[in-house]
Structure 1
C-alpha cells in the first residue's frame, strides 16, 4: 500500500487492532512487517492513534569521532534476517526531514485504516441485499478512483438470487454490456470460473494504438464497440468470494480514460472486498430464507379467485421481509353466494405463516357450513383459536355476499373497517367495535348489512396497509380515504386497477435506500355490476 523502507518497524497497539477487526491487522503488517523489539526496556515516545512512531537507534558500526562531520550511521541487514532485528534512526543532530517523512507515511496509514473502518461500518448498516450491493459498489468506486461500475451477483451454487446492479449505468447500459461475450471480459471469466480468471486491470486501447503499457491485448470487437458506446477505456475487476459460500459473483469498476488503480488502491479495495463478501454472503442467505417463506405464504393463499355473475374480484398481497400472517380468501357458497374474508395473525416468521394457513382453512370450513351468519363463523373461529393456540390472537373480517341482490352481511373481530368506493361516495363502513379473536373468553359482535350501488367497489384490507405509511393511524386512515376518492374514472371499472392505484398512492416509494418494511399488506376488492 505505502512505499516504506522494510527496515522501518511499526508497532500496533492491541486496542487499535481489536477495534479494527475487519482485516485491519493484516493491512498493518502488509504495510510494514516488523518483529519483536530487541530491548523491551528501550524508551518510547508517546503513542499517537495506537501506532508507536518511535524508531529505536541501531548499533553503530563505529563510535562517532568528536567533531566528526558525519551526522548518522546505519547498520546493515543480512538477506533473510528479521525486519525487527535491524532498524534505522536519525542520530543526534540529524535533520528533522527524515522523521517528518516517516510521520507523514504513518499518518497516511492511519488515514487508510480510518477510511476502511468507515466504509465497512456503512456497509454493515445496510439491511438488505439490494442496498448492500449499492453501498458495495459506491465504496469500491471511491477506493479505486472510478466513476462507474457494476456488480454481478451469481452464486456458484446456482441457488440464486442472480442480479446485476450498476453504478452510474442505466438499464440500457447494462443491457449493452451483457451483449459482450463473457469470455471477452475479465469479470466474465471470473463468473465462468475459469482457472486463469483472477480479475485485475483491463485496458482497452484504441484501434491501431497501443495501450499505455505498450502491450496490445486482443480485444473482442463487440467489447470494443460497447466500450466506445458507453465511453469507458479501462476497467478493474475483482472476484467476490466468501469463505463459507465460495464465489458469489464479480465486481468491475470502469474508467473513462486508460488508467488503472495504484498499488495502494489495489490493497485497500482488496481488503474491503474481502470483508464485504462476507457481509454479502449473509445477505444472500437472508434473501433466500425470505423468498422461501414468501413462496410458502403465497401457496397457502388462493391460487385464483372465483368468477361469479354480478361481481368482479381482485386481490393484492405483499409479504414483509420476515413473513407475516396476513391472509385473504374468496370462496363460492351455495345458492350463488360468495364468501369474502381477510385477516391477520399476530407475530411473524414461519410460525405465523403456519398459523395463518390453519386459520384460513378452518374459516373456509365454517363458511361452507354457516356462511350466511358471519357472526357464527367468527365465533367458531374464535373458539378454535382459543383452544388450539391460546398464546396467539388474530383479527378477521368475514362478509357473506349475494351478488345478484348486491347485498353484503359482514362481521369483524378487531379488524379495520371496509371502504366503499363509488362515483357518488367514498366512505368507511361503520362496524361495531370488538376485540380480536383470542383476546376474550367469549367473542361476539353484531353484524352489519350494506347494499352497494351498481358500479361500487367494496375494499377489504389489513392494517399493514396503514402501518406501512409510517403515520399515526388517524392520518393513515385519512390518506387511504383520499387515495380511494382519487381513483381515476378510467380505473373505477377494474378492481385490479383500483388496488394498484391505492398501493401506489398510499405507500411511500420504495428504493435502495428505503427503510425495511416489516408489515404484510393485503387488499381484496369486490366490484358489483
Structure 2
C-alpha cells in the first residue's frame, strides 16, 4: 500500500508533462513555420531585386517595381507615383492590378495630384500602414469609378538621398491588413528599387552619350547630284554600346560617285576609333581615279595593317560611273553583306557575288571586282548586317525578307525609304545598323 502511495504523484504528473511537451512542440512548429515563411520572403525579395535590376528602360523598371511589390505581399492593387522636380506633387502614376472593367470605369479620371492619403506620404515620407483608408485623417475619398480600397501600405523610394516617388499597395488577397513583415519587405524592395532607378538613369546617359558620339563620327551626306542619296544610322537596342558601323558617299572627279559602308567588329571605343580611321583613310585612297574598288580595298587593308592593329572589318565599296547615256556600277566587298538593287518597276535583285575576305584577315589577298549597268530611277541599297541578323533566321532568309520590304517601300521618297527599312527590318535589333541608299536620275 505504501509503495502504491509513493508512485501516485509521479503518475499524476504525466498528463501535465504531456501537455507541456505538446505546447512546446507547437511552439517549435510555429517558430519553424515563421522561419520558413521568412526564408520564402527573403528568397522572393532576392528574386524581385534581380528581376528589377535586369531592366534597362525606365518605364519597364517602374512597372516591374510595382508588380514585384504586389507579389511579395500578396496585394491586389499597386501603384507608383513619381514626384515632379519640386517634390510637391505627382507627375506620373504607374498602376497595376486593375482589371479591364476597372480601367474603363476610371477612363477620363485625372492623374492623382498627390492629395489625401497619397499626399500624406509625400509630405511625411515614413512608411505608412492604414487599416481603413476612409478613417484616416488625411483621407479625401476616391474619385467616381474608383475600385473600393480599404487597406494601404505606402513606402517612399529614394534615389541618391532624394525622394523619387512613392510605392502604394492596397488590399491583401487574403483579406488581412498589411503587417509589419509586409512593411519590412517592401521597405527593402524600395531601397533596391532606388538603386535600380539610378542605374537605369546612368545607362540612359551613357547610351545617349554613346549614340551622340557615334553620330558625330558619321558624315553628313554631300550633294551627289544628279543622284539622290539618303542614309540612316540606328544604335543597338542594348544601351551604352558604341558601334563600328559607318557609311560614306564622296563625289569624285569625272561625275563619279563613290559609296562605302562598313562594320568594324566590336562595340567599344576601340571599334569606334577604328571605324573613324578606316573611313578617313579610305577617303584619301578613293581619289586615285585609276583604281577599281577591289584594288582600293586591298590597298586600304595593307595600309591599315602597316599603320595600326585595327580589328577585323567588313566593308562594301562601290563606284557609280557615267557610261554613255546611263551609269555603270562597279563594286567590291570585303566580307560584307551584298547590296540590293531595286529597279524602276520595284523588282529587287540581291547583288550576290564573290565577297572577298574582310579587312584585317589576309591583306595580301586581292578582292574581286564586279560590274553591271544601272537603269534610270534605280535604287541601290547598302547596309550593315545589323539590319538582317536574327538568331532564328539564316542570312539568306533575312535577305529575302529585306528584299520584299524594299520592293514594297520602293515607291517612297528616298529619305522615307531608308527610314521605313530601319523601322521594319528583319533583324532582332541586337546590333547597330547603318543604311545608305542612292537613286539614279530619270532617263
> TM-score by structure 1 length?
0.65
In structure 2, the partner of 1:414 is: 335
Alpha-carbon distance in structure 2 between the residues aligned to 1:300 and 1:123: 34
* SS of structure 2 residue aligned to 1:111: helix
Pair 1:315-2:231 in alignment:
yes
Alpha-carbon distance in structure 1 between the residues aligned to 2:203 and 2:169: 30
In structure 2, the partner of 1:524 is: 436
In structure 2, the partner of 1:281 is: 198
Contact 1:418 1:428 in 2 (8 A): yes
In structure 1, the partner of 2:221 is: 305
- Listed as ranges, the matches of 1:138-153 within 5 Å are 138-144=67-73, 145-150=75-80, 152=82
Contact 1:339 1:371 in 2 (8 A): no
Shift of 1:296: 0.4
* SS of structure 1 residue aligned to 2:266: strand
In structure 2, the partner of 1:387 is: 306
Change over 3 Å in CA distance of 1:254–1:308 after alignment to 2: farther
Pair 1:105-2:17 in alignment:
no
In structure 2, the partner of 1:461 is: 383
In structure 2, the partner of 1:116 is: 45
Shift of 1:120: 3.0
Shift of 1:437: 1.4
* SS of structure 2 residue aligned to 1:442: coil
Alpha-carbon distance in structure 1 between the residues aligned to 2:408 and 2:402: 13
In structure 1, the partner of 2:164 is: 249
Alpha-carbon distance in structure 2 between the residues aligned to 1:509 and 1:411: 27
* SS of structure 1 residue aligned to 2:286: helix
Alpha-carbon distance in structure 2 between the residues aligned to 1:186 and 1:312: 58
Change over 3 Å in CA distance of 1:262–1:91 after alignment to 2: closer
Shift of 1:313: 2.1
In structure 2, the partner of 1:262 is: 179
Change over 3 Å in CA distance of 1:488–1:118 after alignment to 2: same
Change over 3 Å in CA distance of 1:358–1:217 after alignment to 2: same
Shift of 1:340: 1.4
Deviation string 1:251-293 (CA, Å, 9 cap, x unpaired) is 4346489997433222111112223433443343333323211
Shift of 1:299: 1.0
* SS of structure 1 residue aligned to 2:438: strand
- Listed as ranges, the matches of 1:37-436 within 5 Å are 67=12, 71=16, 91-92=20-21, 94=23, 96-126=25-55, 131-144=60-73, 145-150=75-80, 152=82, 167=96, 180-181=112-113, 186=118, 196-198=124-126, 200=128, 212=133, 214-217=135-138, 219=140, 227-228=143-144, 236-241=153-158, 245-247=160-162, 249-253=164-168, 255=170, 261-302=178-219, 304-320=220-236, 321=238, 322-370=241-289, 373-402=292-321, 405-422=326-343, 423=345, 425-436=347-358
Higher relative helix content:
2
Shift of 1:143: 2.6
Contact 2:311 2:360 in 1 (8 A): yes
* SS of structure 2 residue aligned to 1:451: strand
Shift of 1:402: 4.1
Superposed CA RMSD in Å reads 4.3
Alpha-carbon distance in structure 2 between the residues aligned to 1:291 and 1:167: 30
In structure 2, the partner of 1:37 is: none
- Listed as ranges, the matches of 1:453-492 within 5 Å are 453-467=375-389, 469-471=390-392, 475-487=394-406, 489=408, 491-492=410-411
> TM-score by structure 2 length?
0.76
In structure 2, the partner of 1:79 is: none
